[in-house]
Amino acid sequence: MTTPGYATERETAEGKVFTVTGGDWDTVVSGVDPINDERIVVNMGPQHPSTHGVLRLVMELEGETVRECRPVVGYLHTGIEKNLEYRNWVQGTTFVTRMDYLAPIFNETGYALAVEKLLGITDEIPERATTIRVLMMELNRIASHLVWIATTGMELGAISMMLYGFREREYVLDIFELCSGLRMNMAYVRPGGVAQDVPDEAIKKIDEFLDYLPKRLKEYEDMLSGQVIWQQRTQGVAVLDVTGCLSLGITGPVLRSAGLAWDLRKTNPYCGYENYEFDVPTATTSDVWGRYLVRMAEMRESMKIVRQAVDRLRPGRIMVSDKKIAWPAQLAIGVDGMGNSLEHVAKIMGQSMESLIHHFKLVTEGFRVPPGQVYVGIEAPRGELGVHAVSDGGTRPYRVHYREPSFINLQAVPAMAEGALLADVIAGGASLDPVMGGCDR
């Protein structure tokens, strides 16, 4: 006999069992996730190849499915923006070139354009210097995309792409070395112009590269585009449509792969890009496949711009004529490969005492920049690279802050990863092409 107010009971091999009913018990039971205890938290990183640096992804997994993903940045923080406040305006170039180390020319050019805007000398930059900037930026864009196709290929199983992509990139780095003396982090683009002129042997090397690369790009596409594994690992993977891109501030190839032809070289031209003939490649798939197609097409468009820039090179100055701003250009390297040649030092020392004193003050103290603040945006390989520079009228920046596309674009990782498979996190993260040196600064 059941006592009123008590649960029913039954005898089992384990003893007496009560059946609980009534109240909100059914609601409580139905709200419990039956596989909640089977979820695990995994740290991917803080180092993984697909990030070109040091990134940590804290992921909650349900089997092979990512239920929650949280990017953690800051492991590569170098304090570059803060360091700029303790160096003169020209020395800042040496710092910013080391941020996104796959796109140093873009870091330098954005900074130089901002300083020139503060100085009010934007229209005084020699045409040859501006053309050289365009030439070097587009070569740098090709080199950056070659690293992307190389590393992404490796991460998705196409190991050969790693070898081929870096092989072709060596051509570009050789050109950089001929022009600046360095392969990376060149501090080549300076406020007022560029550090050194482009030698004839570099022009010859560029012509060879423009004849060589199209055949290699065709080989890449023959190797990847029709490959079933490559298609399955990229098509419909890490989808982020144009609405998601705009909501998160995503720019560059990721935005263009969603169908929006937003490119600052066209929408807000700088460095005379409005005078060059080129297209803005887009796709409509909004996935890893689309980002692959866009970057491959962008390399071909950059080659068109490089060829036009070479044809536009005319004899002339590579630094502004104002000697109170113009950093010494046309430097000659010593026989030991370091420092200035004795001939160059003798030339400086042989001038008037006034010019020697001015040279010394310009190098050690630097020039003064009128008070004010500016924002300059350029189209870097990963998207909009913005420079916000503030001057208090001194010889050093009061504040310089970069709107770095790698940092902004990493916001897309959770949107692309959550609800997808763990393996697709690698493909999605790689398709953003983040460089953590630019993200952490």
* pLDDT single digits (tens) 222-265: 888 888 888 888 888 888 889 988 999 999 899 999 988 898 99
Architecture of domain 70-325+367-440: Orthogonal Bundle (1.10)
In a structure prediction context, what are the per-residue pLDDT tens digits for the chain, which is 441 residues long? 555 555 566 677 667 766 655 556 566 555 555 555 677 888 887 766 556 678 888 888 888 888 888 888 888 888 899 999 999 888 889 999 988 888 999 999 999 999 999 999 888 889 999 999 999 999 999 999 999 999 888 888 888 888 898 889 999 999 998 888 888 888 889 888 888 888 889 999 999 999 999 999 998 888 888 888 888 888 888 888 899 889 999 998 999 999 888 989 999 999 989 999 999 999 999 889 999 999 999 999 999 999 999 998 888 888 888 777 776 655 566 666 566 667 766 766 666 677 677 777 787 888 888 999 999 999 999 999 999 999 998 889 999 999 999 899 988 888 888 888 888 888 888 888 888 888 888
- Interacting residues of 267 by C-beta distance below 8 A, sequence separation 6+: none
- Which pLDDT score is estimated for 346? 72
- Which pLDDT score is estimated for 20? 59
3-state secondary structure the chain: CCCCCCCEEEEECCEEEEECCCCCHHHHHHCCCCCHHHCEEEEECCCEHHHCECCEEEEEEECCEEEEEEEECCCCCCCHHHHHHHCCCCCHHHHHCCCCCCCHHHHHHHHHHHHHHHHCCHHHCCHHHHHHHHHHHHHHHHHHHHHHHHHHHHHCCCHHHHHHHHHHHHHHHHHHHHHHCCCCCCCCEECCEECCCCCHHHHHHHHHHHHHHHHHHHHHHHHHCCCHHHHHHHCCCCCCCHHHHHHHCCCCHHHHCCCCCCCHHHHCCCCCHHHCCCCCCCCCCCCHHHHHHHHHHHHHHHHHHHHHHHHHCCCCCCECCCCCCCCCCCCCECCCCCCECHHHHHHHHCCCHHHHHHHHHHHHCCCCCCCEEEEEEEEECCEEEEEEEEECCCCCCCEEEEECHHHHHCCHHHHHHCCCEHHHHHHHHHHHCCCHHHHHC
On whether the pTM is more than 0.75, the answer is yes
Q: At what angle do helices 159-180 and 200-224 cross, to 10 degrees?
A: 170
Q: Domain residues of the chain, as ranges?
A: 70-325+367-440
Distance CA(119)–CA(113), nearest Å, equals: 10
- Which pLDDT score is estimated for 336? 61
The C-alpha angle 271, 277, 280, rounded to 5 degrees, equals 90
- Which pLDDT score is estimated for 51? 61
Among 199, 170, 198, 191, smallest CA distance to 108 is for: 191
- Which pLDDT score is estimated for 78? 85
- Which pLDDT score is estimated for 57? 85
Residue 27, both tokens: 């609601």
- Which pLDDT score is estimated for 332? 60
Distance CA(177)–CA(419), nearest Å, equals: 46
> Which residue, chain included where needed, has tokens 């009061």?
398
Distance CA(303)–CA(218), nearest Å, equals: 14
